Amino acid sequence: MPEYMLHAAHIPSPSELKLVQEDPVQNGGLQMPSYPNNFQQINPDPNNAPSMNSPTENEQVPDTIDSPYAGALKISVVSSIGLIPVENATVIISFTGDPDSVLERLTTDSSGQTDTINLPAPPLKWSLDPESDNQPYSEYNISVTADGYEPVLVSGSEILADELSLQTVRMNPLQMTEEDEKTVVIQPHTLFAEYPPKIPEDEIKPLAETGEIVLSRVVIPEYIIVHDGVPSDSTAQNYWVRYTDYIKNVTSCEIYSTWPESAIYANILAIMSFTLNRVYTEWYRSQGYNFTITSSTAYDQKWIYGRNIFENIDYLVDTVFANYLSRPGVRQPILTSYCDGKRVTCSGLSQWGSMYLADEGYSAIDIIRYYYGNDMYINTAEAISGVPSSWPGYDLSRGSTGEKVRQIQTQLNRIARNYPAVPTIVADGIYGSGTADAVRTFQRIFNLPQTGVVDYPTWYEISRIYVGVSRIAEPG
């Protein structure tokens, strides 16, 4: 057994591993999502695409700048005041290690987005090998300028082989800033660089009878407040971050998107449960702090302001964001400990070990129970904050009628004022071809499978974007 598996507290028997088919009550009825058929086709022309094959053992590993391996990058530029895309922004891309050599010069469209481009990356196998000391991702600088906005430099945006990276750049209007340039530095990945190990904590927190109010039910918050430092650092900045954006950011910091889907899902579940325990128990507020969670790996989970995320992580979080981990008889989400399993061991999930188990055919719940025990199950939050209304429980598609269809049509029309690529439609409560086209365009802009059907992740993404464009500015 690999060294990074040795700290596992429980090795399931073959009979225990038949628990792939979960009780639909315990797992909230949610299944692993099916990615679109073209998900891995990040190269528009496969005949002209760089080779994606890993080198053989005797093959010399190339430098990134001359690498035959590639990942993809799509950049979205928005104003920091309201959810307004920045059209005709100039985007210049260079290697972080050679910032003066321009690799690509792009211009954003009416949705504030660039074309998807391919960029050199290290071999895929480096991100799949816990014994490798090679950095498995390449790093790029992204410089963005636009009329009426403060320039932005993002340094260290990460590209993994065969993966689509999504980099959002938020620009400050000139009237609200006095800086010459905003600089965002993306720190190294937690699996590659050394970070302080997690301070052990009990997975179930005692809830005081008096003092701070503790939530009576588990609710998915619209925002959480991230303290970008250790709790006692009063100079560290607090950031208001949408809950789903926070989970996507942490997941992209903590594991590699190249891993098998069930490993990614298991890690997302652990990250979400940990986060919702902090929310539910008001852990830091009960100690007199004015934030929800920190970006310190010693106290919480790694979060990096302005970092890129990856398309498969983005979509998977949108599909399961209301889930968390529970034990029988315990109301609060479990504070699920985890670690890399190589440099640091712990009583919870091993990140590298989860990848190994997924390669062996374990499902996400198999992986969770391997590390946390057979009484752990997937639960679903009772409520979701910050949305006009909850998903109706069924998909909306051509032929659907009623008030839920009218609501989606009205929201899409408001979104179209900010994102004019989305066609304006008649809000008549009838889901026809025009509505399907508007939904399909929305899905393309916001990185969802382009089905033209309002399913669970599309419903909530439309809701989040509608709320975002309806506000004058985002909190914080």
Reported as a single tens digit per residue, the pLDDT across 309-351 is 999 999 999 999 999 999 999 999 999 999 999 999 999 999 9
Q: Which residues 6+ apart lie within 8 Å of 90 measured at CB? A: 105, 106, 107, 144, 145, 146
- Contact indicator for 281, 273 with CB cutoff of 8 Å: no
Reported as a single tens digit per residue, the pLDDT across 382-414 is 999 999 999 999 999 999 999 999 999 999 999
**Structural element, H or E, at residue 77:** strand 70-79
Helix axes 243-254, 311-320, angle to 10 degrees: 130
Reported as a single tens digit per residue, the pLDDT across 48-59 is 333 333 344 433
Cβ-count burial of 17 within 10 angstroms (0-12 exposed, 13-18 middle, 19+ buried)?
A: middle
Whole-number CA gyration radius for the chain: 22
What is the model's pLDDT at position 5? 66
Give the whole-number percent of the chain exceeding pLDDT 70: 83
What is the model's pLDDT at position 350? 98
Residue type, 353: G
- At 211, is the pLDDT very low, low, confident or very high (cuts 50, 70, 90)? very low
Quick one: CA torsion of 368, 369, 372, 378, rounded to 10 degrees?
A: 60
Q: Average pLDDT over the chain, rounded to whole?
A: 88
Region 152-167: what's the mean pLDDT?
98
Backbone angles phi, psi at 217, to 5 degrees: -150, 160
Write out the two tokens for 94: 């260079």
Residues in the chain: 476
- At 47, is the pLDDT very low, low, confident or very high (cuts 50, 70, 90)? very low
Return the DSSP state at 394.
S
Q: Is the dihedral of CA 8, 14, 16, 17 positive or negative?
A: positive
- Domain locations in the chain as residue ranges: 3-30+195-384, 46-185, 403-470
What is the model's pLDDT at position 187? 98
Reported as a single tens digit per residue, the pLDDT across 82-136 is 899 999 999 999 999 999 999 999 999 999 999 999 999 999 999 999 999 999 9
| pLDDT higher than threshold 80 for residue 215 | no
What is the model's pLDDT at position 66? 66
Domain 46-185 classification at class level: mainly beta
Longest alpha-carbon distance in the chain: 66
* CA–CA–CA angle 81, 73, 173 (5° rounding): 20
| pLDDT higher than threshold 50 for residue 34 | no
According to DSSP, the β-strands at 70-79 and 309-310 are unpaired
